[in-house]
Amino acid sequence: MKSKILFFMLLGILANAQTNRFFYEYKFIPDSNNKGDVKKEMMLLDIDKDGSSYYSHDKFVADSIGKAELEKQLKAGGGSISVNRREKPGQVSYKVTKQYPDFKTYLFRSVSMDQYKIREDQKPDWKILPDKQKIGEYNAQKATTNFGGREWTAWFTTEIPFQDGPYKFYGLPGLIVKIEDTTGSHSMTLVGNKTIKTQEGEKEIQLPENIKILGLGGKDIEVTKDQFKKVWKAYANDPTKNMREMMMKNGSESGSKVSFKVKTSDGKEISDPNQVFREMEKRTKEVLQKDNNPIEPDLVN
């Protein structure tokens, strides 16, 4: 009964077509072999009457600027498109959405040149404890759960009557204001909030058929968690496979040779396709080796 009352309160608060934006400081350790290297990212949790969306602030800004530049180039024509790397592209590339009232949860993330929409098939199973403390300006209560291959400790407050939280976490009788795994590798803490006007859905950019840009255009491939695990394993084993296939396809369809250049770590420029892909595979595997402490180990192991 209590949860139903809280949910009706939530609907009442959201009835004015506004979005409640909560700011979370996300601290994480990408490399378990280098625990002194703690990264920080400002994450946003936007809640409206239909559900919530959790994503990186820096990535949102970078993507918005990138889309504006791309639309300008597409309108201008000219046959060539230049995509510049943003100064602050964001360290967290994934997004999580939840749909009310049943909290249907999806994780959106990219692998190589493809974008995936991964349906979450488990709900956080909480154990609410009597411990209480103040987190920021809110009176909070402790809860624990095992989720995604980690043990988590959360603090929630009934002073903010949203049964939601950062990442895939929800289902407590109030907003999660802090959550951390027991190893200290990942923590999310509420640091602020504001109300913003609800924005209309963004228009999808229509790219020419022969152009594919990571994160822009195209449809998300909806998969189960098991299907995504297979995709991730194949990518980790051969990181450049999809890109090689795409380059070969574009080259054969256009009748022209597709080429591009990269620079090695010592500044040497290479353009031979085989060398380019070898260099890209080497770099990707080095990155993956140092990014061995994900927020949800069960999804990639």
Instruction: Kindly state the average pLDDT of the residues 46-54.
Output: 97
Instruction: Kindly state the average pLDDT of the residues 154-180.
Output: 97
pLDDT at residue number 3: 41
How do residues 186-232 score in pLDDT, each as one tens digit? 999 999 999 998 764 444 444 444 444 444 556 899 999 999 999 99
Q: Residue 155 class from Cβ within 10 Å (0-12 exposed, 13-18 middle, 19+ buried)?
A: buried
Phi, psi of 205 (to 5 degrees): -70, 130
Which residue's entry shows tokens 């800004």? 61
pTM: 0.78
> What is the amino acid identity at position 136?
G
**Average model confidence (pLDDT) for the chain?**
81
Per-residue confidence band for 12, with pLDDT thresholds at 50, 70 and 90: very low
Q: Where are the alpha helices (DSSP H) in 14-130?
A: 57-76
Whether residue 251 is predicted with pLDDT greater than 70 in this model: the reply is no
Strand intervals (E) in 8-89: 18-28, 39-48, 51-56
Distance of CA 179 to the CA centre of its chain: 17
- 211 vs 185: which has the higher pLDDT: 185
Per-residue confidence band for 1, with pLDDT thresholds at 50, 70 and 90: very low
Helices then strands, each counted (H, E), the chain = 5, 14
Edge-to-edge strand list for the sheet holding 221-223: 127-135, 138-147, 150-157, 175-181, 186-197, 18-28, 39-48, 51-56, 95-99, 104-111, 114-119, 221-223
Instruction: Kindly state the average pLDDT of the residues 55-82.
Output: 67
- Using a pLDDT cut of 70, give the percent of the chain over it: 69
Q: Which CATH code fits 2-224? A: 2.50.20
Q: Nearest to residue 116, comparing CAs of 23, 250, 195, 214?
A: 214
